[in-house]
Amino acid sequence: MGEQSNFSERVWQIIAAIPKGKVTTYGDVALLAGSPRAARQVGGVLRRLPPGSKLPWFRVINRHGRISLQGEDLFRQRDALEAEGIEVNDAGEIDLEKYRWAY
DNA sequence: TGAATGACAAATT
DNA sequence: TAATTTGCCATTC
């Protein structure tokens, strides 16, 4: 019971460390977690977060600088990002050059 | 135990 | 340049 895999633990810690007002990519989180080709699994971890999670999951976007979520979830993520000063256009795109977390 | 899943990314068309 | 396919692998069922 309770014992989570090392990968999920790492992902949670890394995402918790993303500064407010910055974003990072699924690929970078995977890299930092020690599994460079597990970007897809990072998304998997976030997808399974409980609704009330305090983790800043919304600071994670894809390598194109775009929000990967669709529908209502896309709007929720965009609003959360804009709420901390990050510019997001109507297509759900963010300027990675400007907001990327330099870890 | 194994097949299915998928909030990605790189390669190929 | 954009769309599609392929590779990837932790997790779930």
- Using one digit for the tens of pLDDT, what is the confidence trace for A29-76? 999 999 999 999 999 999 999 998 999 999 999 999 999 999 999 999
pLDDT of residue A5: 73
Architecture of domain A3-47+54-99: Orthogonal Bundle (1.10)
Q: What confidence category does residue A103 fall into, taking pLDDT thresholds of 50, 70 and 90?
A: confident
pLDDT of residue A49: 96
The CA–C1' separation of A39 and C12, in angstroms, is 17
Is there a contact between A66 and A91 (Cβ–Cβ < 8 Å)?
Answer: yes
Give chain A's length: 103
Query: Is the model's pLDDT at A2 over the cut of 50?
Result: no
Q: What confidence category does residue A3 fall into, taking pLDDT thresholds of 50, 70 and 90?
A: low
Sign of CA dihedral A103, A99, A35, A14: positive
Is there a contact between A61 and A74 (Cβ–Cβ < 8 Å)?
Answer: no
The residue to which tokens 């305090």 are assigned = A54
CA A103 – CA A10 distance, rounded (Å): 15
Query: Is the model's pLDDT at A1 over the cut of 50?
Result: no
Question: Which positions on strand C lie below 7 Å from a protein C-beta?
Answer: 7-12
Q: Which nucleotide's C1' atom has the smallest distance to the CA of A6?
A: C10
Protein footprint of strand C, defined by Cβ closer than 7 Å to any strand atom = A 4-5, 7-8, 35, 37-41, 44-45, 48
What predicted TM-score, i.e. pTM, was given to this entire model?
0.94
CA A46 – CA A17 distance, rounded (Å): 15
The CA–C1' separation of A33 and B6, in angstroms, is 19
